[in-house]
Amino acid sequence: MRTQVSRLGLTAALLVWAGWIAFSGTSSASMDIQKQAKAAGVEVKNCQTCHTETLPKKDAHDLNDNGKWLVAEKEKRGAKAVDGAWLKEKK
């Protein structure tokens, strides 16, 4: 009986952890955004293409004009995540 409860508890904990990993940070910046922008022909040197800091913190970061424009495009398009290739469309 005790091992059954232990297995059930472990399974529940693993499911909660997997869900947290899968759904957390879905709108945060990543290196993928930089790669998408570079592949589209946008000149990207570092995080300061969209952020005000060279290495922005996940919890506290400020966006520059490019970053604010990308977030607005994400909302406008109803996308789940920002696509770095959108920067090519920015005037």
d(CA 34, CA 56): 14
Average pLDDT over residues 61-89: 91
Confirm whether 35 is domain-assigned: yes
Helix (H, G, I), strand (E, B) or coil at 64: coil
Q: How confident is the model at residue 27 (pLDDT cuts 50, 70, 90)?
A: very low
pLDDT above 50 (res 33) = yes
Confirm whether 1 is domain-assigned: no
Average pLDDT over residues 17-32: 60
Confirm whether 14 is domain-assigned: no
Confirm whether 18 is domain-assigned: no
pLDDT above 70 (res 1) = no
Please give the pLDDT value at position 56.
78
Q: What is the pTM of this model?
A: 0.63
Our CA angle for 46, 80, 18, nearest 5°, is: 90
Range of the domain at 67: 27-89
Please give the pLDDT value at position 26.
42
pLDDT above 90 (res 72) = yes
Confirm whether 31 is domain-assigned: yes
